[in-house]
Chain A
């Protein structure tokens, strides 16, 4: 059967031969030991590295440029080609480039759910045994997204979660407390509407933004230990019913099917809704929005709880290194990633942008209140299943979300359909509950 794919097999064989030639030569062995030694003399490191950055080019990009400048003060001969790649395109673009073997960057900012997928395809260097993983104090939840098959393929760059972002002025006017459960939110909604004219909340229809409803009832998407699809469990049905009820009772603005997230952010920034479920990456935009009242008017609380407590998905990004990168750039790449994830660098980014650092020691150095603002929300962050298919969960979930939130389809029916898509397209070897 395998001869049925002669071209691919041929390419793979060729790659193997080439790799074997490289791997057996003696200087390979020595280069494995070099990184630690060379870190003593930064000026001797010389390499051109390309970094694909998926962050926001207008707000976040310049901050990373500043960091690169600082890096070059220490390592004058390592040139970093900092390329901004739109987040929505990066996953496909990287896979196309990595697969064809040309045009891929040396270093990529990979979303947490992409990392194990890239690793499973052989596109990433494993970082085990490099100085990157020695003596670090990465937070365990973000670091865990880099592990695939017992090896570590990246280091966390930034972490985040969803929280309840609220307009302090509107809640004060209405005279209500920040809701801690979905029930409270529903009870407060008519009061907020009556006293301020604003709708209580804008919920999205995207699968990621609906996860708090699922985690709030103790539900999950898949059970990786038992290899079971549990997306249509009773708990999840209950959670989605809560979400649908918030829309149908008028507590939430009805989401739009196209561009749901952009629409709800605009509504929140314009003060037309009092709350939204969103992440730290929207804080800068809210802060600079005209008429919102800046950071003073913005509050962040943990996502409201369901009957089983509150839970929001852990998100964030990792630094990963493309396995097609020339081996002799290894030390430079390690030095760069190490610099970017040092406590000082992460504290610098956090101060500038309000993003959440991934190393424990950075938090003591951060002075930005935007970071402390998210501490409570982070406490209810819920880990996701870090399997290669993890990024594929969201297409069926988005369909489910649109049906339940926009079209008013029965949650049980929509979740059953999502489970069927999981089985046929995402994790075929899992059993459906």
Chain B
């Protein structure tokens, strides 16, 4: 019985082919009929992504228009007496819709330090990505040449990548410690004064950038090394025969040849660094006095410190998302103009 039930099923796919000649149908419908198995395959993913990504996203955007926080999320507050009764009283401050108030408060600087954090984020992202790329490229070019112990250097240089970010953060914070750190212990021997690293916004930011550069260079190096190895050796040979200097070969062969890889890793690196939470949080802890806080750590403090301000954190989240979306859009467009497609 079951055999006869099953057999008609596989014959179903040819059906649309015959029907199509009879009357026009929507392209989507035809595509669905032909690729129904593909749709079925992606359905779980779509459902899970919808549940895990889309739903919280919409909820977060919505919350940014309310004044929701931990103390006003309940319409009633109930108090239980140990071993008995319970009394509930209406919460006089229950959360409500407040329109654009959060955005106005945040962007006007009335609450928090949005613009300070924004400028920190820019400085932090640009300097980290530039240094990542420059140092990563330099190391990749060196490692791409034949030399003794190349395998050892490759492994050694990849090690920082294997260290969890927070472990590296603690180690570097200790190195930069003002009273007991190794760096301030060494500086006097070089004829320099010890630096109060965390007492000043820029030196404090410097410690975090140093940590993140140390952590992020290996990824850039490996990615670019892969890109370098994809550049055909004949190009270099031909250029050499034409009498090109090493610098000319680097500018005219290596850099253009790397562009597909580098454009991707720079975009990724920017987004990752922009949202890089643990380094700032563990190395500078926003010191001095919150002056090295970046947008993501600011959002975290709103969401998880004190009475948790969900609406304020959601506002931060929406602003961060908008900025990154805008950045990615512009970046793609610029690349498209240069003839890159991705």
Residue B284 CB within 8 A of the other chain: yes
Contact with A along B85-98 (1 / 0, CB 8 A): 11010000011110
Question: Are B82 and A125 in contact, with the CB atoms below 8 A?
Answer: yes
Question: Are B73 and A8 in contact, with the CB atoms below 8 A?
Answer: yes
Question: Are B81 and A128 in contact, with the CB atoms below 8 A?
Answer: yes
Residue A130 CB within 8 A of the other chain: yes
Q: Knowing A16-B88, A403-B289, A407-B289 are in contact, say whether A127-B82 is a contact too (CB < 8 A).
A: yes
Residue B308 CB within 8 A of the other chain: yes
Shortest distance from the beta carbon of B110 to any chain A beta carbon, whole Å: 6
Pick 23 A–B contacts, CB within 8 A, sort by A: A4-B97, A5-B95, A16-B88, A32-B83, A35-B83, A117-B307, A119-B79, A125-B80, A125-B82, A129-B84, A130-B82, A132-B82, A257-B199, A258-B173, A258-B198, A258-B285, A263-B178, A266-B179, A266-B180, A395-B306, A402-B287, A403-B289, A424-B105
Residue A226 CB within 8 A of the other chain: no
In the complex, which residues of chain B have a beta carbon less than 8 angstroms from the beta carbon of A331? 83
Question: Are B177 and A259 in contact, with the CB atoms below 8 A?
Answer: yes
In the complex, which residues of chain A have a beta carbon less than 8 angstroms from the beta carbon of B95? 4-5
Question: Are B71 and A120 in contact, with the CB atoms below 8 A?
Answer: yes
| Alpha-carbon distance A310/B4, docked complex (angstroms) | 94
In the complex, which residues of chain B have a beta carbon less than 8 angstroms from the beta carbon of A333? 82
In the complex, which residues of chain B have a beta carbon less than 8 angstroms from the beta carbon of A15? 78
Residue B77 CB within 8 A of the other chain: yes
Question: Are B84 and A5 in contact, with the CB atoms below 8 A?
Answer: no
| Alpha-carbon distance A261/B10, docked complex (angstroms) | 74
Question: Are B77 and A258 in contact, with the CB atoms below 8 A?
Answer: no
Question: Are A121 and B71 in contact, with the CB atoms below 8 A?
Answer: yes
Residue B196 CB within 8 A of the other chain: yes
| Alpha-carbon distance A117/B307, docked complex (angstroms) | 8
Question: Are B77 and A122 in contact, with the CB atoms below 8 A?
Answer: yes
Shortest distance from the beta carbon of B290 to any chain A beta carbon, whole Å: 6
In the complex, which residues of chain B have a beta carbon less than 8 angstroms from the beta carbon of A104? none
The B interface is mostly helix, strand or loop, or mixed, namely: loop
Residue B193 CB within 8 A of the other chain: no
Interface residues on A, range: 35 or more
In the complex, which residues of chain B have a beta carbon less than 8 angstroms from the beta carbon of A151? 79
CB closest residue in chain A, given B82 = A125
| Alpha-carbon distance A92/B307, docked complex (angstroms) | 9
Question: Are B86 and A19 in contact, with the CB atoms below 8 A?
Answer: yes
In the complex, which residues of chain B have a beta carbon less than 8 angstroms from the beta carbon of A175? none
Partner of B84, one of A31, A121, A334, A389: A31
Question: Are B196 and A256 in contact, with the CB atoms below 8 A?
Answer: yes
Residue B111 CB within 8 A of the other chain: yes
Residue A399 CB within 8 A of the other chain: yes
In the complex, which residues of chain A have a beta carbon less than 8 angstroms from the beta carbon of B199? 256-257, 406-407
Residue B217 CB within 8 A of the other chain: no
CB closest residue in chain B, given A119 = B79
Interface residues of B in 270-291 (CB under 8 A from A): 284-285, 287-290
Question: Are B290 and A399 in contact, with the CB atoms below 8 A?
Answer: yes
Q: Knowing A263-B179, A331-B83, A406-B199 are in contact, say whether A19-B78 is a contact too (CB < 8 A).
A: yes
Interface residues on B, range: 35 or more
Question: Are B74 and A388 in contact, with the CB atoms below 8 A?
Answer: no
Interface residues of A in 1-37 (CB under 8 A from B): 1-2, 4-5, 8-9, 12, 15-16, 19, 23, 28-29, 31-32, 34-35
Residue A327 CB within 8 A of the other chain: yes
| Alpha-carbon distance A107/B95, docked complex (angstroms) | 29
Question: Are B86 and A23 in contact, with the CB atoms below 8 A?
Answer: yes
Shortest distance from the beta carbon of A321 to any chain B beta carbon, whole Å: 6
Residue A243 CB within 8 A of the other chain: no
Question: Are A402 and B289 in contact, with the CB atoms below 8 A?
Answer: yes
A contact set with B: CB distance below 8 Å: 1-2, 4-5, 8-9, 12, 15-16, 19, 23, 28-29, 31-32, 34-35, 92, 95, 99, 117, 119-122, 125-130, 132, 151, 254, 256-259, 263, 266-267, 321, 323, 327, 330-331, 333-334, 388-389, 391-392, 395, 398-400, 402-403, 406-407, 424-426
Question: Are A122 and B85 in contact, with the CB atoms below 8 A?
Answer: no
Q: Knowing A35-B83, A122-B78, A256-B198 are in contact, say whether A1-B97 is a contact too (CB < 8 A).
A: yes
- Additional pairs, 10, CB under 8 Å, beyond known A151-B79, A258-B287, A424-B110: A4-B96, A8-B73, A16-B76, A99-B70, A257-B288, A258-B204, A259-B177, A388-B71, A399-B290, A424-B105
| Alpha-carbon distance A48/B79, docked complex (angstroms) | 23
Shortest distance from the beta carbon of A404 to any chain B beta carbon, whole Å: 9
| Alpha-carbon distance A189/B66, docked complex (angstroms) | 54
Shortest distance from the beta carbon of B221 to any chain A beta carbon, whole Å: 30
Partner of A32, one of B75, B84, B305: B84
Q: Knowing A256-B196, A256-B198 are in contact, say whether A1-B80 is a contact too (CB < 8 A).
A: no
Residue B153 CB within 8 A of the other chain: no
Residue B68 CB within 8 A of the other chain: yes
Shortest distance from the beta carbon of A275 to any chain B beta carbon, whole Å: 17
CB closest residue in chain A, given B76 = A12
Question: Are A1 and B96 in contact, with the CB atoms below 8 A?
Answer: yes
Interface residues of B in 108-127 (CB under 8 A from A): 110-112
Question: Are A126 and B288 in contact, with the CB atoms below 8 A?
Answer: no
| Alpha-carbon distance A225/B66, docked complex (angstroms) | 30
In the complex, which residues of chain A have a beta carbon less than 8 angstroms from the beta carbon of B88? 16
Q: Knowing A12-B76, A399-B290 are in contact, say whether A34-B83 is a contact too (CB < 8 A).
A: yes
Q: Which 9 pairs of residues, A with B, have the shortest CB-CB distance?
A: A32-B84, A402-B289, A257-B198, A257-B288, A258-B198, A257-B287, A125-B82, A330-B83, A392-B306
In the complex, which residues of chain A have a beta carbon less than 8 angstroms from the beta carbon of B305? 92, 395
